[in-house]
Amino acid sequence: MDTAFEGEKFAVIGESRGSYHAMGLAHTRPNDILGMMLIVADAMPGTSANWRPQHQTLVEIPEEWVASASPEARARFSRLVVQRPDILEKIENTKVSASKLVDPHLAERIRDNFNFSFELSKPACRFERPCLIVNGRQDAMAGYQDMMDGLERYPRATLAVLDCAGHSLAWEQPELFNALTVNWLQRMRT
């Protein structure tokens, strides 16, 4: 990993568990990273918060619209805060087909072996480049409190906790998500 992108500047984006990896890169290679975006970030290393809201669906579609979807798509769809036909179609076309390609043994090896050893409590662990941290207010999987607790480590961060959004916030609140992303990209240019 130390030689990957050697001499190159790049931005890093992590979603869910990938946010941990993005934070690790930002803290181990801060001079190489132009900016960092964390989407539905969870369990920031070094924090003790473990609060998660209870699942709730705030926008539902009629059950008969969901009846023709695959059982896996219906199960994933039931965990959404905002349920719309276009999101159900995206789940069916992307998540369901991608889940069939997952190698569970490889996923376990990555989860168990791809960790960073850094202490976020040290002053050197501040990351002073443009950051965007976007979490869902109703995200029962990741919550948002961990990111609020660690915000001081990122003095150039925008933290957005979106209402009517859970762990699929980019699909549930696309206009807000896109606007925040464009702002982050612009901040990296200046």
Supply φ then ψ for residue 169, to 5 degrees.
-60, -30
d(CA 7, CA 34): 13
* Residue whose entry in the numeric block shows the structure tokens 């994933």: 76
84: amino acid identity, one letter? R
pTM over 0.85: yes
d(CA 112, CA 46): 18
Amino acid at 151: L
Decide if 164 is inside a domain: yes
Strand partners, 131: 36, 157
pLDDT computed for residue 24 by the predictor: 85
Owning domain of residue 23:
10-54+116-189
CATH number of the domain encompassing residue 141: 3.40.50.1820
- Report in angstroms the alpha-carbon separations of 155 from 19, 37, 127, 128, 159: 17, 14, 7, 6, 11
**150, part of any domain:** yes
Instruction: Read off the pLDDT of residues 62-84 as tens digits, 9 standing for 90 and up.
Output: 888 899 999 999 999 999 999 99
The model's pLDDT over 126-145, given as tens digits with 9 standing for 90+, comes to 899 999 999 999 999 888 98
Q: Are 167 and 136 in contact (CB under 8 A)?
A: yes
Number of domains in the chain: 1
Whether residue 4 is contained in a domain is answered as no
pLDDT of residue 163: 97
